[in-house]
Every structure is written in structure tokens, then in C-alpha cells.
Amino acid sequence: MTDKITDPVALWQKMIGEMEKGFNSFATKAMETPEFSQAMNRAGGVAAGAQRQFGDLMEKYLLSMNLPSREQMTGIAERLQSIEGQLGEIKSMLSQMSAASSGSQIGAAPRPPRTKRPPPDSGEPK
């Protein structure tokens, strides 16, 4: 059997593992500093600002092209969501009515009885 100390594959794997640990540990220390937070959030803030400006520009462009604005699309989406919600409610009511009239749910297999007990050796709760 190959000795792990002299097995080049095992050595390579060990080296990769150690490098991962070392790099993660080094990076964690660097990322815990306030300087890192400041730099990261400055970059993130610029990106968010740019995204907003781009969004405003796109909205003006869509308006000039006589296309629906984001606000209008959101309005339609909200109405659709409301219709979906109402459909769900109707489906749920139908299921309940069916269950009430036939004693079982539409398409659902009969539920097993709720009689299961834990194994006797599992002890009693405190």
C-alpha cells in the first residue's frame, strides 16, 4: 500500500486543502477590516447608482417608443397576481366543498390515520 507521505497524489490533495484553508483565513482577516467594508461598499454604491440612472434612461426611452412603462407593467402584474390569488382561493374552496360532500379530497388518496406512536425505547419527553 502506498504511504500517504510519499504518495504524490495525496500530497497534492493535502497541499490544495492547506492552500484553501490558508487563503480563506488570510482573506477573512482582510475582509474583517473597516477599510475593506469601505472599499466594497463604495464600489457597490457606484454600481447601484449607475443601475438607477440606467433604469431612468430606459424608462424615458420606452416612453418615447410608445411602449408600456415599468409602472404600467407592474400594475398589470399586480392585477394578474390578484387574479392568481383569487383562482387559488376558488380552487381551495372547491376542494373543501368536494371534501365536505364526498368525505375525501379531489384526486387525493385517503390519508393514513394519525395514530402513530414513537418506538417504545425512545423515552418520554421532559
Partner 1 sequence: MNAPTGLDLASIPERIQSEVQRAIMRSIKGVEDFSTSGPTLGSTPKDVLHSRGTMSLYHYRPMSDEIYRVPVLIVMATTNRGYILDLVPGQSFIEFLLKRGYDVYMLDWSAPRPEEKSLGMEDYVLDFIPDCVRRVQQDSGEQDVSVIGYCFGGVLSLLYGSIFGDGPMKNLICFTTPIDFREMKLFSNFSDRRYFDVDRLVDSVGNVPPEMILSSFEMLRPASRTVSQIQLWENIWNDEFVKSYRMFDRWATDTLPLAGEYFRAITKDLMWDNKLFNDTMSVGGRAVKLENIKVPILHAVAEHDHIVPYDAAKHLITKIGSEDKEEVMLKGGHVSLVAGANAIKRLWPKLDTWLGKRST
Residues within window 6-65 making contact with partner 1, judged by CB under 8 A: 6-7, 9, 13, 16-17, 19-20, 23-24, 27-28, 31-34, 36-38, 40-42, 44-45, 48-49, 51-52
Using CA atoms, how far apart are residues 60 and 62, in angstroms rounded to an integer?
5
Q: Minimum distance between the CB of residue 64 and partner 1, rounded to whole angstroms?
A: 22
CA dist 32 to 8, 19, 37, 46, 107, Å? 36, 20, 8, 22, 55
Q: Minimum distance between the CB of residue 66 and partner 1, rounded to whole angstroms?
A: 22
Alpha helices in 5-69 (DSSP H): 8-31, 34-64
113, 107 Cβ separation under 8 angstroms: no
Residues within window 56-115 making contact with partner 1, judged by CB under 8 A: 70, 74, 77-78, 81, 84-85, 88, 92, 96, 108-109, 111-115
Using CA atoms, how far apart are residues 66 and 77, in angstroms rounded to an integer?
19
Task: Tell which residue, 90, 88, 68, has the closest CA to residue 77.
Answer: 68
Asked if 126 touches partner 1 (CB under 8 A), the answer is yes
Q: Could you list the residues that contact partner 1 (CB under 8 A)?
A: 1-3, 5-7, 9, 13, 16-17, 19-20, 23-24, 27-28, 31-34, 36-38, 40-42, 44-45, 48-49, 51-52, 70, 74, 77-78, 81, 84-85, 88, 92, 96, 108-109, 111-119, 122-126
